[in-house]
Structures are given as C-alpha cells and as structure tokens.
Structure 1
C-alpha cells in the first residue's frame, strides 16, 4: 500500500488511452441475462425520426473562469482553463457507440488549489464480430468529492477532498438459435480505480473513511430457453450467472453464483407469468489490517489500511441455499414493456423489475429496480456496462466533468446512484432509478432520479467490523434542458441534487446542489464562443458552514 501513491501518478494516461480504445465498442452485462441491442437502438427522437449521423469531433478549448466561494474563507479568484477533447458517435447495423473524452489543464492566478489537470470521459459501444457474436466495451473517468465517512457527491471544486474515479469493462456477448432453443452467453471483465492525491487522515492511525482503492471484476452469464408454443404450451429455460470481484482494500472478495430453471406461462395475449427455482452460493470475505505495537491498524502512505496477508481470509457474509422468484411480464405493444419479480435471494426477500414506455421516437420513460452484492468498483462497472450506446455526455461547463447522467432515449443512462459512496467495504445494494427524456425539434430535456440503499458488510475481528450492518442511503436527482435558438446558437441548462447519508458515522449527512446555464454561439464554421453561469452548494458535518460557490466563464472552442 505504501507504494501505491507513486503508481497512481502514471495511471491517468493509461486509463485515458483505454477509454479512447473503448469508443467503437456497449452495454449488456449489467443484467443477469445477456443483452441484445434492439433493431432501433441508436435512433434519435427528432421530428423526422432520422437516424443520428456518425461523427468524430476533436476540439481544443480555452476559457477564463471567475469563482467566488465562502469556504475556507470569503474569496474570489480566477483561473485559465485549457482543454483538448474528442466526441465520437456511430450508429449502424453492426456497430454502435458513443464517447466523450477530455483532458483539461488549469492555470491559477494566485489561487494554488485551482491549478492542476484532470481527465474525464465516458464511452460505451459494441461491434459485431460475426452474426451472433458481439464485443462490448466501455469506460468512465470522472471526479467526486468525499467526506470522512466516504459519502460522495458531484463537485467542481479542486481541493484535497476530490478524487478521480476510473472504470473500464470489455467482453463478448453470444446470442444464437439452435433449433427451437435460444442460447445466450456473456463474459465481462472490468477494472475500477479511485485515485486520491491527498488522502486526508482525520486522526492519527485512521484513514479518511478507508476510501475504495481499486478492484477487478469477472462476470459470466449463460442461458438456454424455449419460447411458449414452440415445443410446449409453456416456455422453459435454464440459466446461470457467476460474479467475482477482488477488492484491493483488505483483500476483500465478493463471489455470487446462482443457477435456476424458469417456466413462463402465457395467461393473455400480452401477459405472461413466470416462476423460477434454483440454488445460490454467495460469499464475501477479507483480511484484517496490519496492527502496530499499540494494536491500532497501520495506515499506508496512500491513506488506506495496510492488509495483513499473513493471516487467513475471514468470511464476512456466507449465504447458500434454494432461491425462487415469481414474476409477471406485460408487453401490450412494441412501445411498452413491464417485468416485475419478487422472490428470495441473498437470504431474504428480493424485488427487481423493469418498465419502459416509448410512445414515439421523441419521448421515453424508463424505470428499474435492482438488488445485488458488490463493491464500489463492481457497482460502477455494472452500471457502466448498462449504459446506452447512443448518448450525448452532459458536462459541467466550468470543469468539464461528466454529470450523473447522459442524454439518451435509451434506458440505463445514469451513474449517479452508483457513485453515492466511496467506502471500501463490500455491500448489498437495493434501489430504484427512473428517467424521462423528451426531444422535439430543437429542444431536448431530461429528468432522472433515484434511490440507492447499501448495507455494508465487514468481517468480525477486522477493522471493517465497525461498518458491518451500517446503511448508506443516496437520493439523487438530475435534469437538463437544451435548446437550439437557430443553426448557430445553443442554450443549455443543467441541475443536480444529492442527499447522502453514509450511516458510517454520526452526523454524516451530505447534501449537494448545483445549477448552471451556458450559451454557445458559432462564430465561424469551426470556431465557437461560450459563456456560462453556475452555482453549487454543499452541507456536511465536516464543514463549519454551508459551502457555496458561484462561477462565471467566457471562452472559445475550435472544432476540427
């Protein structure tokens, strides 16, 4: 752990290269069953219902920013921002994907914490290798602000409590038909990392909430099924999944394996019910930290506990036995679909479901309920793999950071719920996420919100025992409105709100709010001017008073 601080310095360029490499390649592995992109994936909702054009847009940008804030003292300062970026989008019969990648350098004018650089980006896509075989990949780079309990919220600030979050995934998806049997399989490998240049130690011997460091994920899914009426009056199928996440913090490991048989019974023209029974085995384990002569856990230079690898692994969570669920599927048209399930998983009642309503190519409503076990990196990776492949990144006009959601008519366009806490302990996550998107002519708008609840899991006799059973709750909201006044000018507004209760320490509630408005105008074919106003606010126990910042920006962008 002591050497990791130096290793992180060289990680950013590597992650950026991998993000770029992932651009042409989609989601699909977030759900237990493999995902097959629908025929209309990637269509935009304008009045003519035209497919979105393929595009590759590199750019350079320079801007001057003025910021006023009240913490750590009332002050106003300015800095210059220079950036290079690349926006890519492609929609075709065999491939689809979108990417927004950006590197930014800030030059302070007497305010040292405003200087520095950052990488931000988001990418997701797929490429068809042969009929029935696709390769999916994606990546994320963004920044989050944390407090001593690990609660995380979006932030455009540049202080010691801001960390860089990276996540990458890739893997094949197979979908084929063997006679009457539909066979699907998928594999996903993922990697996530949190870089903290200045880990804050609140008291001697105790790191700042033991923030997540990095993890590797392997996820496998396979199924074989026959539709109702093909062989039998009912549909039958078998499926299995395996998930493993290795977390560097205290050598934690999450393993979740399950197999089941499912029967689907049509009860009406558009309605079917299903029942499944199977077996699961779920284990979460880890090691204790190295203890000093005084019995206190040793903290490395990177700010995390030093793992004691001389001691055996300790089980923190061990569930195995029969699982079951019953569900209903309703699909009255190609524009509306509902799936709702209730059953037993992870030793207790489990609820999951999906709802999608897209009455036209201009509007879409999506709702999802989930239940799973993972670490911070695995949850980010799972959500990243479920992102749309046709989207527009929503960025902070002042920092260029990725927002909590992307603009898309497809489902799964938000990461805000997965970013709610940076605590290193594994957890069981349950929650809901909903989104509404509307596009008509030159106007597009979106509203998303959700709730994420995590119960942390830590082994007895280890330093993580203190968080075992503690609950993190994250309520989040994100919205945007974009309007093209004419062919040469665009007006954009964004807002977000997060309410996070980490549950790890008393008084750990964190609330964050932000709103911005930006105006862009083309001066020539390649050169555009931009101006923006924004405000951010935050309340948390670590701050002596509410933290508010107001910013203004003017700048130029040249697109190639």
Structure 2
C-alpha cells in the first residue's frame, strides 16, 4: 500500500476538526454539546489461516479523534483513525491504514446552510477478486479510498413562491490496489484514480391551495464531472415540472415531466505494437493523447414519472414513483419511520446513471450527521452500513436519520460509467444501555463504455447482495461489548468469473481505567469462490488506548 506524503484523509480530518473548534460565534449563546477526544493506541494482532495452519503476528500504533458538536445551528461529527502496522518479518506488509467519516451541517444565516462530508476507508477493487471481510494481516484486492464533498444550500420565499438553490463540489481519490486475487490471464479492468464534480440545482414552487388546487414546482440542474483515468467526462442537464395533488389529509398524488441530457465520454488507452493497452507502474491505463473524446453513454429526451406521497404523521413518510427515464422504465422511492427518538427505519429504492465518484459523493451526503462509532479494528469501517445514533441529541432531525449503506457503491471500483439500481434498508435502535442496527440491500450496475478501451465491459451487468448486523451494550459505566456479523455475495457478470461469497463476525470487549482503556477483539472470516480453495481465518487483538 502506498503512503502519500500528505495523506488526503489527514488534511480532511484536520480541516473538519478545525470546524469543530471554530463553531460559529452565534452558537455561544446557545446550549452547546461539544466533545473532542483525541487518542493514541497500541495493539498486538495475531491472524491464523485455519485451512493451512499459518499464523502471523504484528504490532500496531494508531492515533485518531472522535468529536461531535450539537447546537441549534451546528451538527458535526468526526470519527478518524490512522494506523501504522509493524511486522516482525516480511510476511506481513508495513501498511498505513486510514479510516474515518465526517459529516457536518451549519446554519450560516436564515435560509442559508453549509454542509459537507468526508470519508476514508479501504474497500474491494476488482469485483471478480477476493472479498476480504476482516482487514487483519495480508489482504488482497483492497484499495484505500478518500472522498470529500461540500457546498451551500439556500431556501427562502418570494411572496407565496418558495425558492431554493444548492451547489456541491466533490473530490475522490483511490490508491491503486496490489494483488487482486484474480486468476492470471484474466482481462485487465481499469483502475480508478481521481475524480471531481460540480453540481448546481435550483427550484421554485408553490404549495397546493396557495394559488392553484395543485402544488407546482419547477426545477433545473446541471452537473459536470471529470475523472483522471482515460480522461473521462460526465455532463448532465435536466429541467422539469412537478405537480402535487392532495387527495386526502395524509395522501397526495404526484406527477412530473421534463427534459434531460446526459453524456459520458472518455478517450482510448495507448496501445503498444501488439495492440495491447499500455499501463503505468500502478496498473492504470495510459491515455492515448491522440484519441478523440468518445461517447460511452448518452441519453437525450423527455422524461416523466408519477407516484404517491403518504405522510400519516410527522414521523412517517412514504414516496414511490414510476416512469420513463434513461431510455426505459424507472422506479424510485423512499420510506422513513421514526417510531421514537430511540428507533428509526430508512428504506431507499434508487435508479440513476452514475460514475464511482458521483455515486460515492451522493452516498456520503445521505449518511446522518449523528452516527454510531464502532471500535472495530478488524472490520471495514464505514464501507458498509453506517447506523444513525437514535438516542443522540438532534436525532429527530434530518441529520439524525436511521443511517445508510455504501455497499452498493463499494462492491467494486470502476472508472466506467454505469446505470445503478438497487434497494437499501437500515434499522437503528437504542434501548437503555443497548444499541443495535441492521442493514442490507441489493445493487446492480450495467456498465457503459466505448469499444476499444481495453477489455470492453459495455453492457456487462454485475450484482451484489449484502447484509450486516451490529450490536453494542454497556456492561457498566466502565466496560462494554460490541459485535458485527455480515454476509456478502458478488456476481461480476463477466464470462468465466464465478460469484464470490464471504461471511464473517467480529467482537470486542473494552474496559476503561480513567483516560486509559483496554480492548480485546476477535474475528472470524470465510471466503468461497468456485474454482478456488475456500478460506477460513481467525483474528485476535489486544490493545491499550490513551484518551486525551
């Protein structure tokens, strides 16, 4: 794993911590809930291959911060951990591991808010390869990912007309993977590098009964994104009108129509004298400077949909739509239910044309600003389901939703554009000293790429299924336990590449002695794929943390 001189995650973490310290001055006259807890940690790890009786050990040194601010005008939470691994032999790599999530929302002025988010995590790279569920020891097919987004939101009224506008900037960086576990001779897929995006949306509308019996909303949007691999470009323009007709106190019908144009293009890879794509030292395609910009995906025309909105109470909302978009039938919807401050349910059905950086930016934005931190040193922190903190202050707000899952984004990493469809569901709850969460879903992607860009994945469809459960309980004021179980199945859709199935479980016990806390962790992981030997491994760790 490469180690950048100035890690992107370190810069992002420092910036967001600065935001925590510099909470706007107008918050000083409010009741403030503020917690900033830096820490350092040392640990000893042992991993055992239960199939081959192979045992590895290494030491870890880590530093990080857990921080949150809750006021009427600010909601911020940051969880970040940097770990350095030291092996006793060359059998285990000396790696740097960054893991963190930050979400922030500030009310700058009446009607004007500023929000942002950042993530650092390690995830699968090639969907055909290994699917490590625990990240102890030597793991294949893993890339370090960094991503950040930020921008303002504005909402106000001009007489009876409500107006709104927003802007988002997003940036994503992915380090190239090492060994992927894909059999030798398999077609080479592209390797994502960096991307950035700019998104602008504006709307104006009136509520039903204000001027007309129906509510009317007119909206426009523009997005432009670029990716370094093969000079990819993404451009989207959309304009539409939506109508809402109340038919009962809690039920309304909705319909909308408009125009949309999406274009995704990229260049060809440079080829050697044998016609084989040239790659750089990190395995990425070298872009042919003489290649024209070639269309990978394009849609241009009228879009429309219709559906229902059901709001039986302020705690329950259901929306469902069906229509025509992207040249075919499309379905989308959402359901949220806050049974109480201690229980939340979130379900989302999505259908969109995406790139990896774009989908990750939107995924981070959908995560709550108050979430449960898990002291799980073996798991893939924040790359699966992140559960909201239902018992936290502000949990009843939009920033305290039940949570969300990034599994559909992180099933693999690809530069190529794709149509992403799927469903995610999350339940988060807290009862007394016990917190738990359950999440899962299904994701499918259909790729679009021009012929000639290396191995052609145009028209290839991949699928993934995932489930995760988390629980934490305090034994007393100074000790507690938590645990995770998960299962994943991946089908790449590429010929001769069999599906991948992985399961695992991790658990942790902690004991606090003032500022010093001790932990004992254990995990077990299994992996199976047709044509390869099944894997079964176990992990253990003991550690000591000092909290400043």
Kindly state the Cα deviation for residue 279 of structure 1 after the two structures are TM-superposed: 0.4
Structure 1 equivalent of residue 428 of structure 2: 437
- Which residue pairs with 1:94 in the alignment? 73
Higher RCO (C-alpha under 8 Å, 6+ residues apart): 1
Instruction: Give the direction of change, closer, same or farther, for the CA distance of 1:201–1:416 in structure 2 (3 Å limit).
Output: closer
SS in structure 1 at match of 2:189: coil
The answer as to 2:481 corresponding to 1:491 is yes
Using a 3 Å threshold, how does the CA distance of structure 1 residues 403 and 289 change in structure 2: closer, same or farther?
Answer: closer
CA contact (8 A) 1:166 1:192 kept: yes
Q: Does 1:538 align with 2:527?
A: yes
**Alpha-carbon distance in structure 1 between the residues aligned to 2:190 and 2:527:** 22
Question: 1:319 deviation in Å?
Answer: 1.1
Q: Quote the residue 2:111 is aligned against.
A: 132
Number of the residue aligned with 1:141: 120
Q: After TM superposition, list the pairs within 5 Å mapping 1:159-198 onto structure 2.
A: 159-196=139-176, 198=178
Question: Are the equivalent residues in 2 in contact too, given 1:24–1:125 (CA < 8 A)?
Answer: no
Q: Aligned pair 1:19/2:10, yes or no?
A: no
Determine the structure 1 residue equivalent to 2:437: 446
Matches within 5 A, 1:189-338: 189-196=169-176, 198=178, 208-338=188-318
SS in 2 for 1:119: strand
The alpha carbon displacement at 1:502 in A equals 1.5
Shift in CA distance, 396/506, structure 1 to aligned 2, threshold 3 Å: farther
Q: 1: CA distance between counterparts of 2:129 and 2:224?
A: 23
Contact kept? 1:229, 1:235, Cα under 8 Å: yes
Aligned to 1:479: 469
Task: Tell me the equivalent position of 2:26.
Answer: none
Other structure's SS at 1:418 match = helix
Structure 1 residues 384 and 319, CA gap change in structure 2 (3 angstroms)? same
Is 1:467 the counterpart of 2:447? The answer is: no
Cα shift readout 1:525-560 (whole Å, capped 9, x = no counterpart): 21111111111122235x731122201111111111
Mapped pair 1:424 → 2:415: yes
Q: In the TM superposition, what is the alpha-carbon distance from 1:74 to its structure 2 partner? A: 3.2
Cα distance change of structure 1 residues 200 and 341 upon mapping to structure 2, 3 Å threshold: closer
- Distance (whole Å) between structure 1 residues aligned to residue 349 and residue 181 of structure 2: 36
Compute the RMSD of aligned alpha carbons: 2.4
Counterpart in the other structure of 2:45 = 65
Separation in structure 2 between the aligned mates of residue 255 and residue 412 of structure 1, nearest angstrom:
29
Query: Given the alignment, which residue of 317, 321, 331 partners 1:351?
Result: 331
Q: Are residues 453 and 153 of structure 1, via their aligned partners in 2, closer, same or farther at CA, if it must alter by over 3 Å?
A: farther
- CA distance change for structure 1 residues 52 and 330 in 2, over 3 Å: closer, same or farther? farther
Find the aligned partners of 2:184 and 2:268 in 1 and give their Cα distance: 18
What CA distance in whole angstroms lies between the structure 1 residues aligned with 2:159 and 2:148?
A: 36
Q: Is the 8 A contact 1:122 1:140 kept in 2?
A: yes
Given that residues 19 and 138 in structure 1 are in contact (C-alpha distance below 8 angstroms), is that contact kept between their aligned partners in structure 2? no
**Whole-Å Cα distance in 1 between the matches of residues 132 and 422 of structure 2?**
17
The answer for the alignment partner of 1:29 in structure 2 is none
Deviation at 1:367, TM superposition (A): 0.5
Residues paired across the two proteins, number: 526
Distance 1:296 1:483, change over 3 A: same
Distance 1:266 1:98 in 2: 38
**Equivalent-residue separation in structure 2 for 1:150 and 1:220 (angstroms):** 37
1:385 matched to 2:365? The reply is yes
Residues in 1 aligned to 2:145 and 2:370: alpha-carbon distance in whole angstroms: 23
For residues 306 and 261 of structure 1, what CA distance do their matches in structure 2 show? 43
2:352 is equivalent to residue 372 of structure 1: yes
Cα distance between partner residues in 1 of 2:164 and 2:130: 38
What residue ranges of structure 2 are gaps of 5+ in the alignment? 21-30, 391-400
SS at match of 2:451: coil
The answer to whether the 8 A contact 2:66-2:79 is kept is yes
SS at match of 1:463: coil
Give CA-to-partner distance per residue, 1:123-161, whole Å, 9 cap, x none.
Answer: 111112211111111111111234474786644043453
| Aligned CA distance change for structure 1 residues 485 and 132 (closer, same or farther; 3 Å) | same
Partner of 1:45: none
Counterpart of 1:503 (choices 479, 493, 502) is 493
Contact 2:162 2:206 in 1 (8 A): yes
CA contact (8 A) 2:124 2:410 kept: no
Give the 3 Å change call, closer, same or farther, for CA 351–244 of structure 1 in structure 2.
same
CA contact (8 A) 1:394 1:407 kept: no
Change in CA separation of 1:414 and 1:203 when aligned onto 2, cut-off 3 Å: closer
